[in-house]
A and B are shown apart, each in its own frame.
Chain A
Amino acid sequence: MREYSAFALLKNALTGNTGWKEAWRKPELKASYDVIIVGGGGHGLSTAYYLAKEHGVRNIAVVEKGWIGSGNIGRNTTMIRSNYLHPQNQHFYEHSLTLWENLSQELNFNVMFSQRGVMNLAVGPAQLDDFARRGNAMRLAGIDAELLSREQVAKVIPGMDVSASARFPIYGGLMQWRGGTARHDAVAWGYARAADRLGVDIIENAEVTGFLKDGDTITGVVTKRGEIRAKKTAVVVAGSTGQVMKLAGIDRLPIESHVLQAFVTEAVKPFIHTVAAFGGGHLYFTQSDKGSLVFGGDIDGYNTWAQRGNLPVVEDVMSEFVALFPGLARVRLLRSWGGLMDMSMDGSPIIAKGPLPGMYLNTGWCYGGFKAVPASGWTFAWTIAKDEPHAFNRHFTLDRFRRGLIIDEKGQGSTPRLH
């Protein structure tokens, strides 16, 4: 019998819920591993899981500075989609989406992937054409997309102001019905538990303070809980990339750390059953299964390592939300938080071998990393195991900037605050 099921739940309920196993062990550090993964976030844990499951590498340590899932996997707006314009991104994110679709069964952990649709709201005919360009590109790549009229949009999200008298009247929307949301913490815990069951050591409170080197070659890491050696060391630490890579002697990268704030209201009876992004400014929103409205907007716009935002962005995001939902001015903001974003110079990620021998780097997720968790781990595991990229991540190299092979979804160039 599988560990988690309705039957197991019933059986344990009858025995006082004392029969459950730890979701992941709390092992001691070993002196050496085949692979060390620095970073126990969503991407690191999924990398460990796919290395163990797809490539048979079981002797893996995931070393995490604090508690697993303490980074962006535990502080995001949980949106999942593959509605990208560029083929380099489309195939990668579509692969991710297909992994998401069976993830709960695969991990035996309900990650609550709810395919309730992700919609981009267009505020003018020009923007609708722009979305059509994207939607048509998706359709040609075999990805689902639909263009909705204003009337259809109004039906999908009742209560939203779609009137012509709005400051930025909504003309229609690009919908990807297979997109949706998932329960963010469950993704970290689900991957951790599944990796643990395959023998992966997940070691919390083990901040990396240095790298072991043989010449230029990385041979392991120094952590607060001791040294460990491995032939392969993978760094997947999102917003902390700059700092961790400095420990390895890499002083500059095409990455800046920025803060993105996200917001949650008190729970109200669910009435928004989809995910939507508003093109009149920068706002995206959904409503959780608990009833909280969840939304976010722009990054604060300056380099920061403090997981703390500032007030002007709070005011901007609330204003846009209330403009769309004039009935919700009396609903109340309950929580806000700030996540560190590893903003790359073209808005697309890096999943590659290097930049030093023995090292593998996964970074540059900007604020789109959550939906990528399965495919990021899957392709990174492939790259680590085979020492070459999979077709899905072969464009996500570090040298693409030098070569001009940039993947710029927004067309903003090397100004991270605009991505």
Chain B
Amino acid sequence: MSAHRAPTGGRIDRSKTIAFTVDGKAYAGHPGDTLASALLANGVTLMGRSFKYHRPRGLLGAGDEEPNALFTVLGPGAVREPNIQATRIEIFDGLQVESQNRFPSLSFDVGAINRLAGKLFSAGFYYKTFFGPEWIKGTRVWHVFEWFIRRAAGLGSASAARDPARYERMNAFCDVLVVGAGKAGLAAARDAAEAGKRVILCDSEPPSPAATAEFAAHANVECLPRTTVWGHYDDMTFAAVERVADHLADPPAHLPRHRHWVIRTKEIVVATGAVERPLVFPGNDAPGVMLASAALRYAAEFAVRPGARIVVFANNDTAYAAAAGLAALGSTIAAIVDVRPNPPEAARALAARAGAELIVASAVVSTAGGKALSGVAIAEIGPDGAPGANRRTLSCDCLAMSGGWTPQIQLAAQQGAKPRWDERLHAFHAPDLPSGWSMAGSAAGDFDLDEGLSAYPAPVFEIKAKGKAFVDFQHDVTADDVRLAHCEGYVNVEHMKRYTTLGMATDQGRTANLAGLAIMAEARGLTPPEVGTTRSRPPLVPVSLGAITAERKDDLKPWRLTPMHDWHLENGATMYNAGLWSRPMIYGAPGETIEQAYVREAAAVRSGVGIVDVSTLGKIAVQGPDAPEFLDRVYTNLFSTLAVGKARYGLMLREDGIAYDDGTTWRLGDNDFLMTTTTANAGKVMQQLEYYLDCVWPDLRVILTSVTDEWAGAAVGGPKARDVLAACVSGAKVDDAHLPFMGIVKGEIAGAPVLICRLSFSGELAYEVYSGAGHAAHVWEALMAAGKPFAITPYGLEALGTLRIEKGHVTGAEIDGRTTARDLGLDWMLSKKKSFVGSAMMDREGLFHPDRLRLVGLVSLDDRAINGGSHVVDSLDGEKATQSLGHVTAACFSPALGRYIALALVKNGRERLGQRAFITDPLRGRAGPVEIVHPVFVDPEGKRMHG
């Protein structure tokens, strides 16, 4: 036992010793200790350095309010967790932490030199300098200063090492959510449990024996220790974080590190307690100066004496009870210094019981000591907090202060309603609460004190003596900073907060906000509520990004794989992400470049036969008596006239007349259509069609079913495609008479039913073979086997793209949400016989402008590749700004032409066919001459696909 640790008492387990290190130095503690209590028991008072002035700091509090004692928790491996309050770290064997914001060490920190320039570094000083004189243009001067500022910025440092921990998300539902397992919270949970309600009881602390014992037998109460409710969202949804395994030396694999709880409840009881406020006086940040409640807590819960000789400094009665408690636990209370002239009798009795000298109408005006407190100076004060001349010093190693109490109402205030000011408590209460909400215990201003004692403070928050008096400890905001903000007109509470950074540190200003508000109110001659309150927003305490990310940490988005995925991998495909889908890009042979591979694949389609997986196309079953009418409304062209057993290419517009999506739709029966969409728009088109049926044309008798995942597809294309099908299809004839262009037949391949439509994206004689997803891999392999005599070649997205560029078919690169049917050369698809979605707005003047970008082809005249994203220009003038005529949407080497070609959108492009122009790609340093040509490079008459 150290001199600081009492031999008995507290919640610690003295039978076991825990070894941990701080900055590599070994310390010992006991189970039940926090890092804060363990260090205090080891006689450590210096636990951190402040943000701006690098002042030495010790513990101020014992819980979430702690602003000073922040450490970086190290491990496992290179993982680092910065800025963790010592009061929230439960020690375990092997715990390693590092102090922060100091160089080279916590006790000798060269950054402390900033203290010398304290007056210069006043609030907002950086707005007034660092930008240079007017005659130095630009941001250069600031960049120089900023480099130094960024070197000094930040608290702890993070690590790039991947966090090996697992996080998880839980959805929970209950009747009553009780936040806080103190006396009031326990009572509320008990009442609700006895009424048969489902209760969740959250508490930020480790499990309390009282709660554990009481609710062990209640099946309807779930206790969540180490759990902080941090956010209120609409409709009684609450977010909480449970620190499941942070306190374990060797967490079992099944436990996540943190658990993200999303709790939906009917009622909530907020029993989050109240936080004691510091008093504002010079030197109030010295290590050894702490909140009276924290001092008592260290003594009572951890059996650690916060000091051998304690002075108590207060403006209210509650500190007297703390003094008596501390005395009972073995500390000497040298004196109680009270700003009030007449503390009540009950308080005086407690002072006597503590054996303390009672010094009234007085205040602490300075502290001595540096890294550990050695004494305080006190003086008599007037009612306004101004100290008089009579001074004396008291020697002590701990100053326990109490500036009154602030109910913790942040959760209730997150709704956005204005908190109510309590003139006696000098603090805000929760706003008027909607039904389902209640506050309990000290969070509601009910302090449960002994007879004759009150939590109401004298209205003295600041002792106006000379020296730096801190309001916000972590951000080094002083009372003078608040007054400077006032002097410069930053008088609204939000302006003050932003100008001084008061309340914006990791402790969220728990101990700082009210004093800051009070000082500003006094400067303005207003009451604090007239100055305003800042809005409370989630999160209430800092929450690890990992917790909120939960299972998505190592699994951001699902993968979509086609039934042929394994075959692609086994056959040498290089895969490519297309949205959530994984698709073959090329099936490269050893030693082939990407270009060599796709040129080989595309050439094989033009000369023989190729096969490509088209399962990712969106597929929607459109069924019902009004299906033809519905399709006529959503497509620009007619579908009601389509014969059963035939397919037709269709184009959809948006309501504003801009092209939206395209695809083929197959008529399988009078009232039965299979619509296909582009891969990228499958979900959006489905949703839009559902919208029309539900919200615009509810009387159309149409049922939509997304069958994208039910049907898998293989496109077989090339002069020998028919031979391949003829070799493997049974139950249907595939010759030109039975299966003409755009015809559909049903048959079987290798025993599996298939639907075959003769349509072509490549421009070759081609078929799309659809089969149920469960048979698709089997069908694919049967097609490969049947194609073997014809040297069938599987091809990927690159060759698919090449074939479509050669044919001038548009995709998402051209239907980019800004182009019209006319721009794309698809005006022939705009029916004049009917209205359709987009028809009313497609003729607006802006959509007819002669300067609109229109689809053309480009042929490289220097036999070099054209890069996607290049622009088209009239003339090349080096790097000089040139008017862009348009841009390249897709480019490739065309095996059919033996040239590098591209599709492009060019201003008034249809009038430029046959003209020379240039492509330019200044980003990649490529420019060269091109000829503007018709976008259909290969077989413009369509003889091949009709063959």
* Partner-B contacts on A (CB < 8 A): 2, 4-6, 8-10, 12-14, 16-18, 20-26, 66-67, 69-70, 74, 87, 101-102, 104-106, 109-110, 112-115, 123-126, 128-137, 139-142, 145-147, 158-159, 167-169, 174, 183, 185-186, 189-190, 204, 265-271, 273, 280-281, 288-291, 306-308, 310-311, 314-315, 318-323, 325-337, 400, 402-406, 408, 410-414
With A13-B120, A290-B154, A329-B545 as known contacts, state yes or no: A133 contacts B127, CB within 8 Å: no
Question: Across the two chains, which residue of chain A brings its CB closest to B660?
Answer: A413
| 13 pairs, A vs B, C-beta closer than 8 Å | A17-B480, A110-B127, A136-B884, A140-B922, A159-B160, A168-B557, A185-B498, A269-B153, A315-B548, A318-B545, A329-B553, A330-B81, A411-B816
Chain B nearest Cβ from A409, distance in angstroms: 9
Question: Across the two chains, which residue of chain B brings its CB closest to A135?
Answer: B923
With A105-B134, A290-B153, A413-B817 as known contacts, state yes or no: A329 contacts B167, CB within 8 Å: yes
Q: Evaluate contact between B552 and A310: CB separation under 8 angstroms.
A: no
Q: Which of B658-711 contact A (CB under 8 A)?
A: 658
* Partner-A contacts on B (CB < 8 A): 51, 79-83, 117, 119-120, 122, 125-134, 136-139, 142-143, 146, 149-150, 153-163, 165, 167, 169, 231, 233-234, 237, 239, 260, 262, 416, 480, 484, 487-490, 492, 494-495, 498-499, 504, 506, 508, 535, 537-539, 542-546, 548-550, 552-557, 576-578, 654-658, 813, 816-818, 841, 844-848, 867-871, 873, 879, 881-884, 887-888, 920-924
Q: Evaluate contact between B128 and A5: CB separation under 8 angstroms.
A: yes
Q: Evaluate contact between A24 and B489: CB separation under 8 angstroms.
A: yes
With A114-B143, A327-B162 as known contacts, state yes or no: A20 contacts B487, CB within 8 Å: yes
Q: Evaluate contact between B146 and A140: CB separation under 8 angstroms.
A: no
With A269-B156, A406-B656 as known contacts, state yes or no: A323 contacts B556, CB within 8 Å: yes
With A110-B131, A332-B83, A404-B657 as known contacts, state yes or no: A319 contacts B868, CB within 8 Å: no
Q: Evaluate contact between B153 and A289: CB separation under 8 angstroms.
A: yes
Give complex CA distance A105, B127 in Å. 11
Give complex CA distance A408, B820 in Å. 13
Chain B nearest Cβ from A224, distance in angstroms: 16
Chain B nearest Cβ from A187, distance in angstroms: 11
Chain B nearest Cβ from A208, distance in angstroms: 19
Which one of B237, B539, B552 contacts A333 once the chains associate, using CB atoms below 8 Å? B539
Chain A nearest Cβ from B295, distance in angstroms: 27
Chain A residues with CB under 8 A of B656: 404, 406, 413-414
Give complex CA distance A188, B869 in Å. 38
Chain A nearest Cβ from B134, distance in angstroms: 5
Chain B nearest Cβ from A400, distance in angstroms: 7
Give complex CA distance A190, B124 in Å. 12
Pick from B129, B556, B576 the residue with the most CB of A within 10 Å: B556
Q: Evaluate contact between B487 and A141: CB separation under 8 angstroms.
A: no
Which one of B125, B143, B163, B654 contacts A9 once the chains associate, using CB atoms below 8 Å? B125
Chain A residues with CB under 8 A of B542: 265-266, 332-334
Apart from the given pairs A128-B869, A132-B921, A133-B888, 5 other A-B contacts in the complex at a CB distance below 8 Å: A109-B127, A132-B869, A147-B923, A289-B149, A314-B239
Q: Evaluate contact between A337 and B81: CB separation under 8 angstroms.
A: no
With A102-B138, A291-B154 as known contacts, state yes or no: A16 contacts B846, CB within 8 Å: no
Chain B nearest Cβ from A305, distance in angstroms: 11
Question: Across the two chains, which residue of chain A brings its CB closest to B585?
Answer: A125
Chain A residues with CB under 8 A of B154: 267-270, 290-291
Q: Evaluate contact between B846 and A330: CB separation under 8 angstroms.
A: no
Which one of B165, B545, B557, B844 contacts A265 once the chains associate, using CB atoms below 8 Å? B545
With A311-B237, A408-B818 as known contacts, state yes or no: A136 contacts B923, CB within 8 Å: yes
The number of residue pairs between A and B whose CB atoms lie closer than 8 Å in the complex comes to 346
With A315-B549, A333-B543, A334-B539 as known contacts, state yes or no: A136 contacts B818, CB within 8 Å: no
Q: Evaluate contact between A326 and B163: CB separation under 8 angstroms.
A: yes
Q: Evaluate contact between A269 and B126: CB separation under 8 angstroms.
A: no
Chain A residues with CB under 8 A of B847: 404
Q: Evaluate contact between A158 and B160: CB separation under 8 angstroms.
A: yes
Q: Evaluate contact between A10 and B923: CB separation under 8 angstroms.
A: no
Chain A residues with CB under 8 A of B495: 67, 69
Give complex CA distance A140, B556 in Å. 37
Question: Across the two chains, which residue of chain B brings its CB closest to A68?
Answer: B495
With A8-B128, A132-B867, A268-B158 as known contacts, state yes or no: A329 contacts B546, CB within 8 Å: yes
Q: Evaluate contact between B158 and A331: CB separation under 8 angstroms.
A: yes
Question: Across the two chains, which residue of chain A brings its CB closest to B122?
Answer: A17
Which one of B142, B499, B848 contacts A110 once the chains associate, using CB atoms below 8 Å? B142
Which one of B117, B153, B262, B871 contacts A133 once the chains associate, using CB atoms below 8 Å? B871
Q: Evaluate contact between A306 and B158: CB separation under 8 angstroms.
A: no
Give complex CA distance A311, B262 in Å. 9
Q: Evaluate contact between B887 and A168: CB separation under 8 angstroms.
A: no
Chain A residues with CB under 8 A of B923: 132, 135-136, 139, 145-147, 174
Pick from B545, B844, B922 the residue with the most CB of A within 10 Å: B545
Q: Evaluate contact between A110 and B128: CB separation under 8 angstroms.
A: yes
Chain A residues with CB under 8 A of B129: 4-6, 9, 110
Q: Evaluate contact between B142 and A402: CB separation under 8 angstroms.
A: no
Chain B residues with CB under 8 A of A168: 556-557, 577
With A24-B489, A102-B138 as known contacts, state yes or no: A4 contacts B143, CB within 8 Å: no
Q: Evaluate contact between B158 and A330: CB separation under 8 angstroms.
A: yes
Chain A residues with CB under 8 A of B122: 12-13, 17
With A104-B142, A266-B82 as known contacts, state yes or no: A289 contacts B539, CB within 8 Å: no
Give complex CA distance A124, B131 in Å. 40
Chain B residues with CB under 8 A of A135: 869, 923
Question: Across the two chains, which residue of chain B brings its CB closest to A316?
Answer: B552
Give complex CA distance A334, B844 in Å. 49
Pick from A113, A130, A319 the residue with the most CB of B within 10 Å: A319
Chain A nearest Cβ from B129, distance in angstroms: 5
Q: Evaluate contact between A327 and B233: CB separation under 8 angstroms.
A: no
Chain A nearest Cβ from B350, distance in angstroms: 39
Chain B residues with CB under 8 A of A169: 577
Give complex CA distance A136, B887 in Å. 9
Chain B nearest Cβ from A102, distance in angstroms: 6
Q: Evaluate contact between A101 and B162: CB separation under 8 angstroms.
A: no
The 8 closest A-B pairs by CB, nearest first: A411-B817, A132-B869, A404-B844, A291-B154, A404-B846, A329-B546, A129-B868, A332-B542
Chain B residues with CB under 8 A of A306: 416
Chain B residues with CB under 8 A of A105: 131-134, 136-137
With A23-B490, A315-B549, A319-B552 as known contacts, state yes or no: A266 contacts B506, CB within 8 Å: yes
Chain A residues with CB under 8 A of B577: 123-124, 168-169
Q: Evaluate contact between B920 and A269: CB separation under 8 angstroms.
A: no
Q: Evaluate contact between A333 and B545: CB separation under 8 angstroms.
A: yes
Q: Evaluate contact between A133 and B846: CB separation under 8 angstroms.
A: no
Chain A nearest Cβ from B256, distance in angstroms: 11
With A6-B129, A147-B923, A310-B233 as known contacts, state yes or no: A130 contacts B869, CB within 8 Å: yes
Question: Across the two chains, which residue of chain A brings its CB closest to B890?
Answer: A129
Q: Evaluate contact between B871 and A137: CB separation under 8 angstroms.
A: yes
Chain A residues with CB under 8 A of B576: 124
With A4-B128, A413-B656 as known contacts, state yes or no: A307 contacts B548, CB within 8 Å: no
With A270-B153, A404-B657, A413-B654 as known contacts, state yes or no: A70 contacts B494, CB within 8 Å: yes
Give complex CA distance A300, B563 in Å. 35
Question: Across the two chains, which residue of chain B brings its CB closest to A167?
Answer: B556
Chain A residues with CB under 8 A of B871: 133, 136-137, 140
Chain B residues with CB under 8 A of A125: 868
Chain A nearest Cβ from B565, distance in angstroms: 16
With A158-B160, A414-B656 as known contacts, state yes or no: A22 contacts B489, CB within 8 Å: yes
Question: Across the two chains, which residue of chain A brings its CB closest to B576?
Answer: A124
Question: Across the two chains, which residue of chain B brings its CB closest to A26?
Answer: B489
Chain B residues with CB under 8 A of A24: 489
Which one of B82, B130, B578 contacts A331 once the chains associate, using CB atoms below 8 Å? B82
Chain B residues with CB under 8 A of A109: 127-128
Question: Across the two chains, which residue of chain A brings its CB closest to B813?
Answer: A126
Give complex CA distance A21, B664 in Å. 71
Chain A residues with CB under 8 A of B490: 23, 189
